[in-house]
Amino acid sequence: MRTLIIDTSGQFTTVLVAKETNLISASILQGRPAEHLHEQVQTSLSSLHIKPSDLGRIAVVVGPGSWTGLNIGVTAAKTFAQVLDIPLSPISTLDALVAGHSKPIWAIMNAGRGQCYYVRCTCFTHDVQPAMAVAPLDTVFNQIRTDTSAVTVLEYGNTFENLLCGDHRYQSAARLLPESLISTMNQSPLLEGDAIKLLKPVYLQPALAERGTIS
Amino acid sequence: MLILGIDTSCDDTGAAVVRDGHEVLSNVIASQYKAHDRFGGVVPVIAAREHTAKISFILESALEEAGISFTDLDAVAVSHHQGLLLALVVGVSAAKSIALACDIPLIGIHHLEGHIYSNLMGRSKVLKFPFLCLTVAGGHTLLLKVVSHGTYELLGHTRDDAAGEVFDKVARHLGLGHPGGAAIEKLAEKGDPEAYNFPRPLINRTDGEFSFSGLKTAVVAAIDRNPNLNKADLCASFQQAVVDLLVSKTIRMAGEHQLQQITLAGGVALNSPLRTALKHAADDHGYQIFTPCDDLCMDNGAMVAGAAYFLYKERGPNPIGIDTRANAPLGSKGIRYRHDSKYR
């Protein structure tokens, strides 16, 4: 079975095609998913000499991440699955980020306005992970600094590099790696029917207007 | 030719199936007014989130009502220019996926062309080029000479606020909620349109230019001076000022450019006093007036599919990498109806 994998959560637009668990095509471009995403899908399928109807599954990174990027990627993936009548697997950004890394590990990413998405993974499998959350930077960083058992602090992006400088455990990732996306996808649920139509990007935070900061 | 039209340019998620540019088989619109009501206007990020949540269901409903499936479609059309960028990209992403998955042409439509063509749907034998189009909504107020398919001449536009935007802002100041056009029209039915003598900016100028910000300021100032004023009188007087401005400029431009047929389009075209006043004025001068049915006035997918039918013949399909822009020049002549800084 061939799977089309879409990631528009960060600074790169990633389109992968996997056959079972093997990567057979990768297209990674920086930014502008609104223009690039479908061109990348078209080019990837053409280069493999396959049609969209040859796909057996769609997988998409649902966030957290770029608000607009996720809207574009999730809408594209939902519509592909709806039209082709095939299942859809949602992938969590932070699940894909920690895949393949030694545990325990903190996965973090900038949520803007002094906040941070975070998850602390202790297990080698994804099925018992704690839920991802969002909290003020100070709160999360204090927990990370006192958590001496964690072996890695991995950020999606690199905006916290200066804030966490001196912590030898700190690493940053500019994008989610193809092998991480494939391994995470294979542990994600298969959505079908109305569950696909109901899929939304992961917005852990309300919009600025909803938080009462503007009238 | 069966075309699926998608519009997510603002706060309505619209999808429709139209046959041969005329026969509307379905026209499904999911309004988001409840999500934006408490803010007194449309919040772009919330609009984008709502579109993403609803788009799959709206597409499904549009096809079900039309009694067809994705494989029956001959093309997919989408508003990709003019609107809220964060909202537009959602509809464009869905349309591109459909075009790729179904291997059918993708047709990008300027949102304003959707409004313009809402009058041609079902009327292409009686409405002849060139004709005058007054398209007036929350995001624009334009007077255009529609020369041929996809070719327009700009006869006038608003220098500041759009007429629909002023309706919304006055309604918000009166606490009437969002969107404000229908609320003001309803309240105005009980009021005296001559109770307040609000200004009619630029009404004596001989060109087609509009300005509504001074009128808005005058109305807001009147409310602030006397919070206990008669809201019905104020709404009626304000509405009359807008109608006077729109009608006088439209009739003047029709005469100057010798255009015998006038079309009215956009969300403000739903306003009954505007329709009536324009009809009376046109009758007095021997002009014909055309207005779309109510379902085609608000933002919707059917007008996009209708425009696509006619414009596809002229322009052909768009590439899958078609861009999305909040402001884009209109038509083959690249008409710019906003400040140059808006066109990046």
Phi first, then psi, for residue B90 (nearest 5°) are -70, -50
ipTM of the complex: 0.93
Give mean pLDDT, residues B252-261. Answer: 97
Contacts of A196 in chain B (CB under 8 A): 56
Q: Which of residues 324-343 of B touch A (CB under 8 A)?
A: 324
Two tokens, residue A179? 């092998």
Output DSSP code: residue B294: G
Strand pairing partners for A13? A29
Which pLDDT score, from 0 to 100, does residue A124 have?
56
Give residue-wise pLDDT tens across range B132-169: 999 999 989 999 999 999 999 999 999 999 999 999 99
Tell me the pLDDT band of A204, cut-offs 50, 70 and 90.
Answer: low
Give residue-wise pLDDT tens across range A23-74: 999 999 998 888 899 999 999 999 999 999 999 999 999 999 998 999 999 9
Does CATH place domain A2-92+176-211 in 3.30.420.40?
yes
Tell me the pLDDT band of A80, cut-offs 50, 70 and 90.
Answer: very high
CB contact under 8 A, A78 and B56: yes
A205 lies within 8 A of chain B by CB: no
Give mean pLDDT, residues B221-230. Answer: 92
Contact A24, A48 (CB under 8 A): yes
Among chain B residues, CA nearest to A200: B53
Two tokens, residue B128? 């002849």
Two tokens, residue A5? 């994998």
CB contact under 8 A, A74 and B52: yes
Task: Tell me which residue in B45, B89, B92 faces A207 most closely, judged by beta carbons.
Answer: B45
Closest Cα in chain B, distance from residue A172 (Å): 28
Contacts of B62 in chain A (CB under 8 A): none
Does CATH place domain B128-291 in 3.30.420.40?
yes
Average predicted confidence (pLDDT) for chain B: 95
Tell me how crowded residue A196 is: count the other CB atoms within 10 A of its CB.
22
Tell me the pLDDT band of B36, cut-offs 50, 70 and 90.
Answer: confident
Contacts of B321 in chain A (CB under 8 A): 35-36, 38-39
Outline which parts of chain B fall under CATH 3.30.420.40: 2-116+296-342, 128-291
Task: Tell me which residue in B94, B97, B324 faces A34 most closely, judged by beta carbons.
Answer: B324
Chosen from A40, A67, A72, A196 to mutate, greatest number of chain B CBs within 10 A: A72
Which pLDDT score, from 0 to 100, does residue A128 have?
42
Task: Tell me which residue in B89, B100, B103 faces A41 most closely, judged by beta carbons.
Answer: B100
Which pLDDT score, from 0 to 100, does residue A212 have?
60
Q: What single string gives the DSSP state of each residue in B302-332?
A: HHHHHHHHHHHHHH-PBPTT---BSS--BTT
**Is the predicted pLDDT of residue B9 greater than 80, yes or no?**
yes
Give every strand in the sheet of B75-81, ordered side by side: B23-31, B12-19, B2-7, B75-81, B106-110
Chosen from A43, A83, A113, A208 to mutate, greatest number of chain B CBs within 10 A: A83
Give every strand in the sheet of A2-7, ordered side by side: A22-30, A12-19, A2-7, A55-63, A88-92
**Is the predicted pLDDT of residue B43 greater than 50, yes or no?**
yes
Give residue-wise pLDDT tens across range A148-200: 999 999 999 999 999 988 899 999 999 999 999 999 999 899 999 999 999 99
Give mean pLDDT, residues A90-115. Answer: 91
Least confident of A202-206, B110-114, B182-186: A202-206
Closest Cα in chain A, distance from residue B269 (Å): 30
Task: Tell me which residue in B55, B94, B323 faces A35 most closely, judged by beta carbons.
Answer: B323
Does CATH place domain B2-116+296-342 in 3.30.420.40?
yes
CA B291/CA B275 separation, integer angstroms: 8
B39 lies within 8 A of chain A by CB: yes
A94-173 shares the fold of A2-92+176-211: yes
Instruction: List the domain boundaries for chain A.
Output: 2-92+176-211, 94-173
Closest Cα in chain A, distance from residue B36 (Å): 10
Which pLDDT score, from 0 to 100, does residue A203 have?
76
Give mean pLDDT, residues B274-303. Answer: 96
- The C-alpha torsion from B262 through B200 and B83 to B8, rounded to 10°, is -70
**Is the predicted pLDDT of residue A214 greater than 50, yes or no?**
no
Chosen from A75, A191, A198 to mutate, greatest number of chain B CBs within 10 A: A75
Which pLDDT score, from 0 to 100, does residue A133 have?
85
B220 lies within 8 A of chain A by CB: no
Angle between helix B44-66 and A67-84 (nearest 10): 10
Which pLDDT score, from 0 to 100, does residue B306 have?
98
Which pLDDT score, from 0 to 100, does residue A121 have?
87
CA A127/CA A102 separation, integer angstroms: 16
Does CATH place domain A94-173 in 3.30.420?
yes
A105 lies within 8 A of chain B by CB: no
Which pLDDT score, from 0 to 100, does residue B41 have?
80
Tell me the pLDDT band of A127, cut-offs 50, 70 and 90.
Answer: very low
Which pLDDT score, from 0 to 100, does residue B199 have?
96
Number of H helices, E strands in chain B: 10, 10
CB contact under 8 A, A83 and B101: yes
B64 lies within 8 A of chain A by CB: no
Two tokens, residue A27? 């297209």
Among chain B residues, CA nearest to A214: B39
Tell me the pLDDT band of A205, cut-offs 50, 70 and 90.
Answer: low
Phi first, then psi, for residue A109 (nearest 5°) are -155, 150
Output DSSP code: residue A53: G
CA B262/CA B124 separation, integer angstroms: 14
Least confident of B127-136, B268-277, B333-342: B333-342
Tell me how crowded residue A79 is: count the other CB atoms within 10 A of its CB.
25
Which pLDDT score, from 0 to 100, does residue A213 have?
47
Tell me the pLDDT band of B324, cut-offs 50, 70 and 90.
Answer: very high
Task: Tell me which residue in A38, A67, A82 faces B96 most closely, judged by beta carbons.
Answer: A38
Task: Tell me which residue in B49, B57, B93 faces A76 most closely, judged by beta carbons.
Answer: B93
Task: Tell me which residue in B52, B103, B319 faces A75 most closely, judged by beta carbons.
Answer: B52
CB contact under 8 A, B94 and A83: no
